[in-house]
Amino acid sequence: MAYPSDEYSMLGIRFRIYEDHRRGPIPRGAAPPARRGRQGRGGGECGPPSRTPSPTAEKDVMNGTNTPNASASAHVLTPARILDENGMLVGEPPQIEPERQRAMLRLMMLGRRLDQKAISLQRRGKLGTYPPLSGQEAAAVGTAYAMDAEVDHFVPQYREQLTMLHWGLPLSTYLLQRMGHPAGSALPSHGRLWPQQVALGAHLPHAVGLAWGMRLQGKPGVVLTQFGDGASNEGDFHEACNIAGVKRAPLVMVCQNNGWAISIPWHEQSAAESVALRAAGYGFPGIAVDGNDVLAVYTAVADARTRAEAGDGPTLIEARCHRLGAHSTADDPKRYRPADFDERAAGVDPIHRFRAYLVGLGQWDDTADADTIAWCDDQIATAVAEFDATPPPDPGQMLHHLYAEPDMRLRRQQEELRSSIEENR
């Protein structure tokens, strides 16, 4: 993976040092530098970095972040990459079998086609709110394929449909989940895929507890969890990082930082330049990668998994990416992003990048492209047919699975609900 030459390493974190922030030792008798304080309280130029975006902030968004000007901070974590925007190598690629690389591209393309169909179903009232993954496929698929779904556990947030499919969730079950049907809660029997979490960051302490428990019991495998930049600013994130570092939990934490959360740019979410830089404060490595580069993501996650499996503790990976379109079907990105954002972001599309790389290797061509599109559409059509054929849920199910044994009050409520349903048929 390519890193800038002007850097140093601490706890496995590569920092780039900007020239204008290098300072030599303080001469004897000279006054020490002004103490850093808060702006408005004597901080001035020695205060924290400005939260005002630089004129280059929009350009930074195309690279996966919209942080303030880099000169505002002495240490900036430069995302590692292996493929440039045109699919050309700029770093050492991981050793992945050709068929496995083709499978990675197929899953990325399935995600893009699924978004189109799911948004259509939502507009027709068949699904509830849907979170598209378009533009973030490399971060999802590179992560999924770097793990071992046969032994590893996955604790997802709500935009992890492709990783969940890789862990064995049927696509029709995922659609039922987005509909709110109880049948959508049925997870694979192997028990290594956990329920997705909608509340931001609330699943992170669960992932840490699971990983810690596996370590105490000597069980094989590690735990993967994914989340967004918005979740990284929740208290649960910091609590999870703290206990993960203290207990050296076998955990891989992947933050898909698209720079906007829902509608708030990164520089208004945090004064930190990077999510990954926070890891040092909890005693474990933080790595930033180009989240539009599936090979860079794969390499970082594979290394983190190896580290966790060896007993060396957690790793925080920040995949800086972009999302094409809305945060969800309840969102209108035109209200807070530049009008030409999607057009410019298409220039770093992760699918186009990886496809170009495989074409250059002779592993992909127009026939493979057409066959994959047909395969994606067939997978989606089959899942939608199963989804449509599923009977509607019994309203009484809303009072199921609340207690191992229903108490008197719950039995009374169940009886009242049954009576109400019968009266209104």
291-321 residue pLDDT tens:
999 999 999 999 999 999 999 999 999 999 9
pLDDT in tens, 359-415: 999 999 999 999 999 999 999 999 999 999 999 988 888 888 889 999 999 999 999
Residue 83 per-residue DSSP state:
B
What is the spatial distance between Cα 351 and Cα 108, in angstroms, rounded to a whole number? 7
Tokens linked to 218: 């000597």
Q: How confident is the model at residue 67 (pLDDT cuts 50, 70, 90)?
A: very low
Q: Is the pLDDT assigned to residue 259 strictly greater than 80?
A: yes
Q: Which residue has the tokens 């698209």?
A: 258
Given phi > 0 = left and psi -120 to 50 = alpha, else beta, which region is 349?
A: beta
Amino acid at 389: A
Contact 307, 154 (CB under 8 A): no
The Cα angle at residue 183 between residues 181 and 188, in degrees rounded to 5: 135
Closest CA to 61 of 285, 311, 366, 291: 291
Please give the helix or strand (H or E) that residue 318 lies within, else none: strand 315-320
Amino acid at 126: K
Contact 382, 173 (CB under 8 A): no
The answer for residues whose C-beta is within 8 angstroms of residue 398's C-beta and 6 or more apart is 417
Closest CA to 221 of 144, 147, 313, 301: 147
Number of H helices and E strands in the chain, helices first, is 13, 8
Q: What is the mean pLDDT of residues 2-27?
A: 37
Give the distance between the most distant pair of CA atoms in the chain.
Answer: 90
Closest CA to 156 of 234, 13, 165, 148: 165
How high is the pLDDT of residue 349? 95
The length of the chain, given as a count of residues: 425
**What 3-state class would DSSP assign to 169?**
coil
Any idea which residues carry the catalytic annotation? 323, 327, 336
How high is the mean pLDDT of the chain? 85
Closest CA to 206 of 244, 234, 175: 244
| b/e per residue 118-152 (b: at least 16 CB within 10 A) | bbebbeeeebeebbbbbbbbbbbbbbbbbbebeeb
What is the spatial distance between Cα 179 and Cα 262, in angstroms, rounded to a whole number? 21
How high is the pLDDT of residue 396? 85
Amino acid at 215: R
